[in-house]
Amino acid sequence: MEELNELEAARVLRLVFPREGLPYILWVVLVVGGILTVAFPYLFGIDAAWLHTATVVGLTVLVALILCVIGILDYPFGGGVGVQPESFEVVLREIGGNGGGP
Q: Summarize the chain as % helix, strand, coil (round to 5).
A: 75, 5, 25
pTM over 0.85: no
- Give the best-scoring range by mean pLDDT among 29-38, 71-80, 81-90: 29-38
pLDDT tens string 3-24: 778 888 887 777 666 556 778 8
Exposed, middle or buried by CB within 10 Å (0-12, 13-18, 19+), for 99?
middle
pLDDT, residue 5, reads: 80
What's the one-letter identity of residue 56? V
99 pLDDT more than 60: no
pLDDT, residue 88, reads: 77
101 pLDDT more than 70: no
53 pLDDT more than 80: yes
